[in-house]
């Protein structure tokens, strides 16, 4: 029984399934010398190449928590200045799980396990992400309750979430979805401007390293994470 080519590339730690689909669509992937198509199967002794480079299976996966600074872009495209891969300068090929926009700081998970990316990002799994947000004006109780109830942005309404006021201009928010610049757009809907946004937790992983530093997940964290995503 073969493995779909996009799943194969994620399982060997080359990229996520979405990233594999893009490479396949760009005709950069070959199976036994033949350009691969979406849905092609890889058998046990097949030779898979990407841009002519032989891809060999390995299961020596790494899982890391990075405290991303403002100004670093969540992309593996090394032609983009300030990309997260060059910033970390890790000796092996890794990629980010989800995104944290350039203007935001805080926790982002990095790995070479492509399968875990899909499980964590799948919206129906409703995995929690927690943020501390500062805005440019005094927060009203009305703002807090309306943010929690759901906000119309990007032609939809955000899911109900947990919002807690921490000070006159700072609040905590826990989301289970990840729209593009979601928190900033939600605040802008109520005429607030975000001045600082920090992600402090993804599921069971908490931010506990200095800005710009990273650490490997502990075995206990990884066990809990895998149970949460049922990997």
β-strand pairing of 194-202 with 105-111: parallel
Of 21, 101, 115, 137, the active-site residue reads: 101
**Does the active-site annotation cover 101?**
yes
Two tokens at 85? 């891969």
Instruction: Report the distance separating Cα 107 and Cα 95, nearest Å.
Output: 14
DSSP of the chain, one letter per residue? --EEHHHHHHHTTS--HHHHHHHHHTT-EEETTEE--TT-EE-TT--EEETTEEE-------EEEEEEPTT-BS---TTSTTBHHHHHT-SS--EEES---TT-EEEEEEES-HHHHHHHH-GGG---EEEEEEESSPPPHHHHHHHHH--EETTEEPPP-EEEEEETTEEEEEES---TTHHHHHHHHTT--EEEEEEEEETTEE--S-TT-EEEPPHHHHHHHHHHHT-
Please identify every residue annotated as catalytic.
101
């Amino acid at each position: 029984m073969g493995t779909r080519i996009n799943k194969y590339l994620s399982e060997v730690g080359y990229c996520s399934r979405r990233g594999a689909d893009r490479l396949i669509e760009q005709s950069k992937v070959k199976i036994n010398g033949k350009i691969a198509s979406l849905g092609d199967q890889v058998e046990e002794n097949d030779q898979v190449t990407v841009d002519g480079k032989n891809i060999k299976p390995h299961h020596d996966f790494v899982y890391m928590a990075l405290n991303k600074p403002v100004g670093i872009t969540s992309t593996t495209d090394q032609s983009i200045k300030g990309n997260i891969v060059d910033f970390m300068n890790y000796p092996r090929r890794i990629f980010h799980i989800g995104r944290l926009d350039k203007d935001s700081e805080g926790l982002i998970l990095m790995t070479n396990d492509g399968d875990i990316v899909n499980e964590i990002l799948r919206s129906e799994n409703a995995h929690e992400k927690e943020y501390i947000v500062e805005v440019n004006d005094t927060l009203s109780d009305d703002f807090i309750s309306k943010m929690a109830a759901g906000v119309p942005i990007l032609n939809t309404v955000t899911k109900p979430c947990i919002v807690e006021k921490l000070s006159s201009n700072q609040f905590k928010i826990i989301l289970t979805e990840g729209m593009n610049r979601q928190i900033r757009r939600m605040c802008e809907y109520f005429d607030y401007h975000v001045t600082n946004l920090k992600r402090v937790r993804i599921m069971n992983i908490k931010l506990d390293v200095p800005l710009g530093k990273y650490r490997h997940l502990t075995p206990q964290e990884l066990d809990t994470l895998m149970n949460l995503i049922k990997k």
